[in-house]
Amino acid sequence: MGNGIAHVFARAGYAVVLRDVDQRFLDRAMESISKNLDREVKKDKISEAQKSAALARIRPVVDLPSLAAADFVVEAVPEQWDLKLRVLKDADSVVRPGVILATNTSSISITKLAAQTTRPENFVGMHFMNPVPVMVLVEVIRGLATSEATFQTTMSLCETLQKTPVAVNDSPGFVSNRVLMPMINEAAFAVMEGVATPEAVDAVMKTGMNHPMGPLELADFIGLDVCADILEVLFQGFGDPKYRACPLLRKYVAAGWLGRKSGRGFYKY
């Protein structure tokens, strides 16, 4: 997600500092960005010169002080509370007062993360969709303390990235995952109960509901571990059994069948 976010900011003309823990990851990210920009050149969305200019605007770094130059920060480290907390506190300690800290979290409370920084009023959720350069939605999530100015700045910023921002309040799963995950979970239950094969479930949703991907295909794309984790957040957050993760989904995760990234999920890759 981080390389996609850097991609769209750089393409829109912003200078980007892309930070990761190791140069290897940065090299891989720059390679992905270059390949993804190539795709846009091939589709005549941007010119070769625009591609080179966008790449030149990204400065990959591993050190923390380089972040001090930022006017806006988007955090996109793995979905673990302790890690996010450490990274956000680090950013909070080096950027100027008033600079907005945004998090791309899929499921952690914006209010709770914001409260751990010195700037809860300048803290916001900026939930990009995967793949970032392609998907136009950004859920912009207000924490309890998010100021109107922070919220409006983030909404406007999304528009300059040629994204469509949608305003959402802080609540487990926001809107995207609160609606999507129960559908994926129900599809998994249908397979577990022998109602239909994964192919049949996906065919119904693609051809009958006009979804571009079936729910199980999408679950494999997102990662079955990620789906199970988000369902757990919904289950804990609402205390409602309707969000309990399907046992088949949990079994696949336990087996290491995590979807596309592990070569096997509901489908084999």
Ligand X SMILES: NC(=O)c1ccc[n+]([C@@H]2O[C@H](COP(=O)([O-])OP(=O)(O)OC[C@H]3O[C@@H](n4cnc5c(N)ncnc54)[C@H](O)[C@@H]3O)[C@@H](O)[C@H]2O)c1
Kindly state the greatest CA–CA separation across the chain.
Answer: 56
Clarify whether 66 is annotated catalytic.
Answer: no
Please identify, using beta-carbon distances, which residue of 105 and 146 lies nearer to ligand X. 105
User: Is 151 in contact with 145 (CB distance < 8 Å)?
Assistant: no
Q: Please, which residue, 37 or 233, has the CB nearer to ligand X?
A: 233
Min CB(76)–ligand X separation in Å: 4
- Cβ atoms within 10 A of the Cβ of 50, count? 15
Can residue 25 be called a binding residue for ligand X (CB under 6 A)?
yes
Q: Looking at 76-84, 155-163, 211-219, 257-265, which segment touches ligand X (CB under 6 A)?
A: 76-84
**Binding letters toward ligand X, positions 46-75, x by CB under 6 A:** ------------------------------
Among 8, 101, 222, 227, indicate the residue that binds ligand X (CB under 6 A): 222
Q: How many positions of this chain bind ligand X (CB under 6 A)? A: 19
Among residues 122, 127, 185, 217, the one annotated as catalytic is: 127
Of 15, 14, 10, which is closest to residue 46 (Cα–Cα)? 10
Task: Measure CA of the first residue to CA of the last residue in the chain; give whole Å.
Answer: 22
Instruction: For residue 30, give the 3-state DSSP assignment.
Output: helix
Structure tokens at 262: 């592990």
Q: How far is the CB of 230 from ligand X (least distance, A)?
A: 8
Residue choice 36, 104, 111, 146 for contact with ligand X (CB under 6 A) = 104
- Looking up tokens 């969000």 gives 243
| Backbone torsions φ then ψ of 107, nearest 5 degrees | -150, -10
Please report whether residue 2 would count as binding ligand X according to CB under 6 A: yes
Q: Choose the stretch contacting ligand X; rule: CB under 6 A; options: 66-74, 102-110, 115-123, 136-144.
A: 102-110
Q: Is residue 104 flagged as an active site residue? A: no
* Residue 158 in contact with ligand X, rule: CB under 6 A: no
Q: Which one of residues 53, 66, 67, 79 is an interface residue with ligand X (CB under 6 A)? A: 79
The binder of ligand X chosen from 23, 93, 130, 152 (CB under 6 A): 130
Phi, psi of 187 (to 5 degrees): -65, -40
Instruction: Give 264's DSSP letter.
Output: B
Return the closest-CA partner of residue 144 out of 115, 172, 117. Answer: 115
On whether the CB atoms of residues 138 and 147 are closer than 8 A, the answer is no
Alpha-carbon distance of 260 to 241, in angstroms, equals 28
Contacting range for ligand X; rule: CB under 6 A; set: 16-24, 234-242, 247-255, 257-265: 16-24
Site string for ligand X, 163-202 (x = CB under 6 A): ----------------------------------------
Length reported for the chain: 269
162 touches 31 (CB < 8 A): no
Spatial distance between the Cα atoms of 269 and 261, rounded to a whole number of angstroms: 9
Check residue 121 for interaction with ligand X (CB under 6 A).
Answer: no
Give the binding site for ligand X (CB under 6 A).
Answer: 1-2, 19-21, 25, 76-79, 83, 87, 104-106, 127-128, 130, 222
Question: What positions carry a catalytic annotation?
Answer: 106, 127, 139, 177
